[in-house]
Amino acid sequence: MASRKQARLFYVEGRVQGVGFRFFVEDEANRLGLCGYVRNLYDGRVEVYALGEEVSLERLRSRLEQGPPGSRVERVMEREAPQKSYRDFSIAASGEPIG
């Protein structure tokens, strides 16, 4: 039986801007076959929207909790999100949180 795709919205807090966090997330998400985006938020957090198989989303969360060298992740918040259509995973422009 095929797995159903799911969407998740993650908010990552800590020292996560100016340390290559978005590039790290983009690489990890592409490696896991996820679609969506990562972007800096004006309040200092990083927002990640990811669409894919549940096991891949769980692995992404684990990687978000670790972060790249130089980062310090204090908290990762996660919630289900509506499915949107993305062809790939990319870095998006900074902005306000969507949810």
How many whole angstroms separate alpha carbon 22 and alpha carbon 25?
5
Active-site option among 8, 22, 39, 45: 22
Would you state the structure tokens that stand for residue 73, as one six-digit string?
Answer: 């992740």
46 and 16 in contact (C-beta within 8 Å)?
yes
Catalytic residue among 40, 72, 75, 87: 40
Quick check: is 22 catalytic? yes
Active centre residues (catalytic) = 22, 40
